[in-house]
Structure 1
């Protein structure tokens, strides 16, 4: 079995350890152009995940003819400029019709924009062309978003037949088990724990574990994990959201809850949870005003 030269790069990215991914990539000497392209993709996606969009835009020329780099630049533009998102979506709609549907980078990176737009049909259409485990794992994420756990389980089985021990397969298994709930929550929790024991506790893994505990109503245990995650990334959206939920059950002060909401409004105004929360508050205030009139 051939050794994956980019194993540490990919692994760090999948686990949400983006800085480690970038550092691991610096140590890799690529043997082929395809390998170099894949390495660059993970590095730039790590920068995007760290909200360093301007760095990506400064390093990738708008005139590049490399498909992966073009898609990465567009992804950075999409996240960095809210006002241009509708134009970017129109652009990718056109590219999907004329683009190379067999190109893994094009399909995966373009699908990520569709997912953020909640256009799951187009996302799945593109992801269906992906052969990588990551592409299949992303399909599982979409299936779970549309409450098709049955399809997620089917896709997971396909991944397990290819490489059951791969980190991305283990993560996908935990996602599915979390969605299944009940006794499967324990399986998901221990899968995350095994990954933490092996690779360290990233924010993503800690939040995922906390989510399992919240569904089991183990709020104090979940709080400990979330505080640990908060120390690693105080402004992380998922940390703030899950802490808000846990604090609600634990009866924390309105002041601490308000601080979390303000963080979300300031750093993550476009997050679906933040948008939903603000919409509900606005609706409640409107009803209150009408009742007083």
Structure 2
């Protein structure tokens, strides 16, 4: 018997009336969310699943095409390139961002003066990182006459068009992703504050160095927080769109070096009006993100330590 049922039986045995109006009020408050789930989320998802098996150009009624869109994805070289660009962005950018966030969090955890101010300053880029303004600013900084080249010219070094060069364009976007480390940094800082100081004191008495304490105490006890940030940042990175769109003017250039999967999906759906193929690509992205998340959860049992 559940705890709720036991409580209700206890109230009835004592002659206390159970007020079912409370349940009705709860259901009423949940109604907007439930309606949004079915009308705004599940409805369009199921519609896009149907459209992924059709030929649909937004102007005419969808025509059933079966597995044609899936077969097309196997032969689409630009799609394969967009996957390669996106995987590089995720597999390089996410670990570097998390390492930077952890390093700054450990620095702030030392109890410096003005901690709330520094915490807000470091968190601010995360709030603006996905905005159009920051992407435009980043484009100006790494442009031919941007701030980076002006700094290099001060030392007599000739700069280059970092955004317009296929070899460095993606790297500049990865650097932008690393720069928006504020959100995981705040979470890391909260996790560091929960580690008992007595562990470090005992380790110091035993002669453990700071490096040894980091790998034997900090990382194991912080591993659930690392896992949490890892899952969120991987999902968010696969969905990244704004930076690549603004920096490349929506083309994914130069030479498709910044053609994220989401940007190519946008081009197919809203420039080529091939909404059926774009829907199939969207579901491919869902499967990829789901696969990465499932792998992270499966591997986590080998390195995530939960201190009971």
Larger Rg belongs to:
2
Q: TM-score range by the shorter chain?
A: under 0.3
TM-score, normalised with respect to structure 1 = 0.26
Normalised by the length of structure 2, the TM-score is 0.25
